[in-house]
Amino acid sequence: MVTRPASPVMGLSLKPGKKLRLRFDIWNLGTIVIAVLASVPIVTVIAMAVIPNAAVGDIWRHLISTVLFNYTVTTLGLMLGVGAGTLVIGTGTAWLVTMCRFPGRRIFEWALLLPMAVPAYVIAYIYTDTLEYSGPVQSILRSWFGWSSGADYWFPEIRSLSGAVAMMTLVLYPYVYLLSRVAFLEQSVCALEAGRTLGRGPWRNFFQVALPLARPAIVIGVTLVLMETLNDFGTVDYFAVSTFTAGIFDVWLNMNSPSGAAGLASVLLMFVLVLIILERHARRGQRFHHTTGTYKALPGHRLSRGRGVMASMACALPVLLGFVLPGAVLVKYALIHYQLTLDAEYAIYTLNSLTLSVLAAVVAVTIGAFMAYGLRLSGTPVMKALTRVASLGYAVPGAVLAIGVMIPTAWLDNLVDGVMTETFGISTGLLLSGTIVALVIAYVVRFLALSLGTVEASLAKITPNMDGAARTLGHGPFSVFKRIHLPIMRGSILTAGILVFVDCMKELPMTVILRPFNFHTLATFVHEYASDELLAEASLAALTIVAAGILPVIILSLTITRSRPGYYFIAEAKP
C-alpha cells in the first residue's frame, strides 16, 4: 500500500484546481454583466411607461383616446395576415419539396429560401414602383384597354394594409419553410409509413401525422415571422400603415415625445411577450415530438405529370414574386442608373454599413462565444436563465430597442459631460448616443441570440468526453481549446459572424433612430431615397443589400441538407 505522505511530495501546488474555480467565477460574473446590460433597453422602456409621473398619465390618456385602438387593430390585422400567409406558403412548399418528386424540386429546395435575402422595405419600394398608377403594369393595362384615367378601372392599392401583408409574407415565409422542412426531414419515416399502413392516404397522412408532428417547429417559424413583422418599419412607414412600430416613430420624431413612444413601445412589448411564450412553449413541445427511430430515405411520392407541373408552379410562384421579379427590377434600374447611386456617395454609405456590421458581428460573436462557453462550463439553471435574458433582443422590435438604447446612453453622455465640464472645463459632448457606439450596442443586443445559438449548437457537438480524452492525453485546458474546440467550431463562428453581419446590413428601424447626424448606411439611404420616389437612383445600394442577404441563404441551404440524421459525422460517430 502506498502510505499517505505527511508532507507535500509532488512539488505540485494546487494552482490548477484553484484557477479552475476562479475561471468559473469569471464566466458567471461576465454572464451576469452581459444579461444586465442587455436588458437595460427593455427595462428602460417599461420603466418610462409605467413609473407614474404627471406627464405619463397625460400621455396614456392621450394615447388611449387617439391612436391606441387604431394601432392595435392594424397591428393585429398585419400579424394575422402575415402569419396565415407564411404558414400556408411555408409549410406547403416545405412538404412538397421534402416529400414529393416533381420537376425542379432540387432547385426549389434552396431557391425557396432566396426571398429571405430581400428586406421587406426593399420589396415594398419595388412593388410600389411597379404597381402604382404611373408604374409599368397600370400603364400597359391602360394602353391595352384604352382606359384614360384611374376612374375607368379598379386596381388594388398596393400601399395599404393588405399590400403590407403581401410584401411581408413574400419575404418572411422562408422562416416557416426552413423550420418546417427541417421538421419534416427529421420525422421518422416509420411514423409516416405506419400512418399509411393504418389506412391514411397521403393527404390525410399530411394533416393527421406529419403536420401534428411538425407543429412545434411550425409554431416557432410563425412566431419568428411575427416578431419580424412587429419589427418592420420600412414597409409600414412607406405604405402609411399605422402599426405600433410606425406609431413609435411618429410619436418619437414628429411629436417629440419620448415618454409617449416608450408607452407605445411597452404595449408592443406585450405582443412580443405573447410571442415569446408561444415560442418557448413550442420549443418545449419539440422535445417530446421528436420521434427518434429509424431514418431512411424519404418516400418521395412521384407526382403524375399534371400534378408535378402544379407542384412546380406552386413552388415557383413565391420564388418569382419574392426574389426573381424584384431582383430583376433592381438589376435593370441599377444598370441604367448606377452612376446616380455612385454620385450619391454610395462608397461612403457602403463603408459605413460594412464598418458597423463588421463591428457588431465581431462583438456579438465574441459575447455569444463567451456565454456559450460559460454555459458549457457551469450550466446551472441560473446561468441558463441569464443567458436567455441576455439574448431576448431578437424578439424585441428594433424601434423599441432603439428607444431603450437612446435614453440611457444619452443620460450617461450628459452625466459624463456635466462632470467633465465641471471639474476640467472640458465638454465631452456625446460619446455614446450620438455616435456609432449606440448603434453597435443596439445591433448587438438585437442579434446576440443569433451568434449565441450558432456557437452553442456547434459547442454541443463537442462532447464532454472529447474534452476528457484530450485532457487524459496530456493536454491542458488551453491546449484543448486550441486543438479541439477551435478547429471544430471555426466554421460555426464564421457562420455566426456572417448571420449577424447580414442582419446588420439590412437593419433599418434602429439605424434610423440611432444614427449620428448626417450619417447614412445603405439601408437608411435606400429608405430615404425610396420614400422620395427615387428608387431608381438608389437601386445599386438596394441591390448591394440583397446581394449580402444571399450569403446566409447559401449557409442555411448547406446546413439543412446536412441536418438529416445520418448525414453528419457526429451522428455517425455515435456507437
Partner 1 sequence: MISHHGLGFEGVSHSYNGNKVAHGVSFNVGAGELVCLLGPSGCGKTTLLRLAAGLERLQKGWISVGDELVADGETNRSIPPEQRDVGLMFQDYALFPHLTIFENIIFGLKNLTPERRLWITRSLKQMGLAGLADTYPHTLSGGQQQRVALLRALAPEPRILLLDEPFSGLDVSRRAQIREETLGVLKEAGVATLMVTHDPEEAMYMADRILIMDEGRIIQSGTPLETYFHPVNAYVAALFGPVNRISGSVRNGLVSTSLGNFDAPGIAEGAGAVILIRPEGLHLAPPAEFGAEIPAGAKDVTVDSARLLGRSSHLRLICCADGQGNSPVILHARISGAFLPDAGSSVSMTVDRNQVFVFPAE
- Residues contributing to the site for partner 1 (CB under 8 A): 1-2, 4-5, 8-10, 12, 14, 16-17, 461, 463, 465-466, 468-476, 479, 483-484, 487-488, 569-570, 572-575
H or E stretch including 101?
Answer: strand 100-101
State which residue, 341 or 458, has the beta carbon closest to partner 1.
458
- The C-alpha atoms of residue 454 and residue 464 are separated, in whole angstroms, by 18
Task: In angstroms, give the least distance from the CB of 439 to partner 1.
Answer: 37
Closer residue to partner 1 in complex, CB, 25/533: 25
Q: Output the furthest CA–CA distance in the chain (Å, rounded).
A: 107
Choice between 37 and 488, CB closer to partner 1: 488
Rounded to an integer, what is the distance from CA 505 to the centroid of its chain? 12
| Closest separation in Å from C-beta 568 to partner 1 | 8
Indicate the residue among 287 and 574 with the shorter CB distance to partner 1: 574
Residues linked to residue 100 through DSSP beta bridges, in sequence order: 301
Q: Is the dihedral of CA 413, 28, 45, 171 positive or negative?
A: positive
Nearer to partner 1, 143 or 465 (CB): 465
The alpha-helical segments, DSSP class H, found in 66-160 are 68-99, 105-111, 120-131, 136-145
Helix boundaries (H) for 290-435: 305-319, 325-343, 346-377, 381-390, 398-424
Which of 16, 29, 73 minimizes the C-alpha distance to 382? 29
Shortest approach of partner 1 to residue 475 CB, angstroms? Answer: 5
- Name residue 101's beta-bridge partners: 302
Quote the least distance from Cβ 375 to partner 1, whole Å: 18
Of residues 199 and 487, the one with the C-beta less far from partner 1: 487
- In angstroms, give the least distance from the CB of 552 to partner 1: 24
Start-to-end CA span in the chain (Å): 38
Complex with partner 1: residue 416 or 488, whichever CB lies closer: 488
CB 542 within 8 A of CB 526: yes
The least CB distance from residue 558 to partner 1, in Å, is 17
Give CA angle at 305 (303, 309), nearest 5°: 90
Closest separation in Å from C-beta 485 to partner 1: 10
* Closest residue by Cα to residue 433 from 396, 408, 398, 415: 408
